[in-house]
């Protein structure tokens, strides 16, 4: 298994997914893990992964993405910046050695930009796409400064080219939702090689902490900020929804939680004392348990839906856009409240804040739904069935 991150600690959606799947599949498979790290300090987490893997060997990529070396390589390469930034040439030789010295049933590549590390081989390759990358970047490019657009458009064309190429070249493609499957199937003209193995949640773990919302009505936004749609979501929430909500709900507080917040996001709390920004929170349950409502105004991108699943598992009611819950199978008014404009979102958040009984009913139904449909035990069984095809 090749991953563009060390699957521990659990700071991003990708880390959460990979760690939990490794944990659940460890007794059924012997897995060799080749992850990328950005800092030497990450090596201290290797023992946690060795509990579930037969072997873990890490590879160092550049700490900062926008180095002169990475930018220059991108300009002269057919690969996009996303591939160049995550490319470590020595992995290719290490994979060759590993395949030559052991009898592997399959190779699992997490994200298309790990695929260039694979040499030519007869070993079947499974590619897992946590999101459709070029769609997220296309959305960002539309809002980028005019002088950046030409460069972004060239890079997005490269992402699209290589993403499609690797979708076709892998023996099996795993996606997060039925919507992603249908989208990619149209792109490559083949749905038979695509399987849906959705994201999951540890329902039992999220139930271990009791809810204790503060006296002041608290709205929570959760999401790692190295993913562009999450930055756009917080900008929309602060600039469009929050001014309207403050007029409707007195003493309201907005809590923004997510790894790697940008300077712009950190500055929100300086401009408004009722906004709090927390970067890395040691236990994400503390965020969900200390909020009245989770808001997810996501308008672009496909892929992981952890913030939604985790909020539901924690018993915190959710107000979200249709895109934010796409593919989860939730029903508006039963499991979540859907809103696709600033005014509609404001009204529904205010309604939940003012009606504790509706909050309680919504969260109870959502928790039951996510426990039955998205627990990691259920999700890992689906991935195991795919693995068994190649054993």
What is the pTM for the complete model shown?
0.82
106-125: pLDDT as tens digits: 999 999 999 999 999 999 99
CA distance 28 to 110: 19
CATH topology of domain 2-200+376-388: Rossmann fold (3.40.50)
Instruction: Find all residues with CB under 8 Å of 70, minimum gap 6, and list them.
Output: 62, 81, 84, 85
24 half-sphere exposure, CB direction, 13 A CA radius: 19
| CATH architecture of structural domain 203-373 | 3-Layer(aba) Sandwich (3.40)
Topology agreement, domain 2-200+376-388 and domain 203-373: yes
315: left (phi over 0), alpha (psi -120 to 50) or beta: left
In this predicted structure, the answer to whether residue 42 has a pLDDT above a threshold of 90 is: yes
Provide φ and ψ at 257, rounded to 5°: -125, 130
249 half-sphere exposure, CB direction, 13 A CA radius: 26
265-311: pLDDT as tens digits: 999 999 999 999 998 888 999 999 999 999 999 987 665 578 899 99
The stretches of the chain forming alpha helices (DSSP H) are 13-25, 46-50, 68-76, 81-85, 90-101, 133-143, 149-169, 178-188, 203-207, 228-236, 242-248, 263-271, 284-289, 306-314, 342-354, 356-373, 376-388
363-380: pLDDT as tens digits: 999 999 999 999 999 999
Instruction: Quote the tokens at residue 111.
Output: 């994200």
At 65 the three-state DSSP class reads coil
pLDDT in the model for residue 135: 86
Compute, in degrees rounded to 10, the torsion defined by CA atoms 313, 239, 227, 162: 120
pLDDT in the model for residue 304: 56
65-104: pLDDT as tens digits: 889 999 999 999 999 999 999 999 999 999 999 999 999 9
Spans of all domains in the chain: 2-200+376-388, 203-373
223-269: pLDDT as tens digits: 888 878 889 999 999 999 999 999 999 999 999 999 889 999 999 99
342 contacts 275 by C-beta, under 8 angstroms: no
128-184: pLDDT as tens digits: 999 898 987 887 788 788 888 899 999 999 999 999 999 999 999 999 988 889 999
In this predicted structure, the answer to whether residue 5 has a pLDDT above a threshold of 70 is: yes
323-336: pLDDT as tens digits: 999 888 999 999 99
Provide φ and ψ at 108, rounded to 5°: -115, 115
């Amino acid at each position: 298994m090749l991953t563009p991150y060390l699957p521990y600690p659990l700071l991003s959606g990708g880390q959460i997914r990979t760690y939990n799947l490794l944990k659940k599949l460890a007794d059924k498979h012997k897995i060799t893990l080749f992850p990328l790290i950005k800092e030497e300090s990450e090596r201290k987490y290797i023992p946690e992964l060795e509990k579930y893997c037969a072997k873990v060997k890490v590879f160092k990529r550049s700490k900062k993405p926008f180095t002169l070396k990475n930018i220059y390589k991108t300009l002269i390469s057919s690969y996009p910046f996303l591939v160049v930034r995550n490319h470590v040439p020595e992995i290719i030789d290490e994979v060759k050695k590993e395949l030559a010295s052991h009898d592997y049933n399959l190779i699992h590549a997490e994200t298309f930009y790990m695929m260039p590390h694979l040499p030519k081989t007869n070993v079947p390759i499974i590619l897992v796409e946590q999101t459709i990358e070029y769609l997220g970047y296309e959305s960002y490019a539309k809002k980028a400064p005019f002088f950046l657009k030409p460069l972004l458009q060239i890079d997005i064309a490269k992402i699209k080219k290589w993403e499609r190429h690797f979708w076709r070249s892998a023996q099996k493609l795993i996606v997060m939702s039925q919507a992603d499957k249908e989208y990619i199937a149209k792109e490559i003209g083949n749905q038979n090689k695509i399987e849906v193995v959705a994201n999951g949640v540890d329902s039992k773990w999220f139930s271990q902490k009791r809810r204790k919302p503060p006296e002041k009505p608290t709205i929570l936004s959760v999401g790692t900020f190295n993913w562009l749609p999450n930055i756009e979501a917080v900008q929309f929430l602060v600039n469009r929804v929050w001014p309207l909500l403050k007029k409707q709900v007195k003493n309201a507080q907005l809590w923004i939680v997510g790894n790697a917040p940008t300077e712009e996001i950190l500055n929100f709390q300086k401009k408004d004392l009722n906004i709090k920004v927390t970067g890395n929170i040691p236990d994400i349950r503390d965020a969900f348990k200390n909020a009245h409502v989770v808001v997810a105004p996501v308008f672009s991108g496909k892929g992981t839906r952890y913030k939604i699943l985790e909020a539901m598992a924690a018993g915190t009611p959710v107000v979200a856009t249709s895109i934010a819950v796409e593919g989860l199978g939730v029903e508006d008014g039963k499991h979540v409240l859907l809103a696709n404009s600033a005014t509609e979102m404001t009204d529904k958040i205010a309604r939940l804040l003012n009606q504790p009984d509706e909050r309680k009913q919504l969260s109870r139904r959502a928790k039951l739904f996510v426990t039955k449909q998205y627990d990691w035990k259920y999700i890992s069984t689906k991935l195991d069935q795919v693995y068994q095809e190649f054993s």
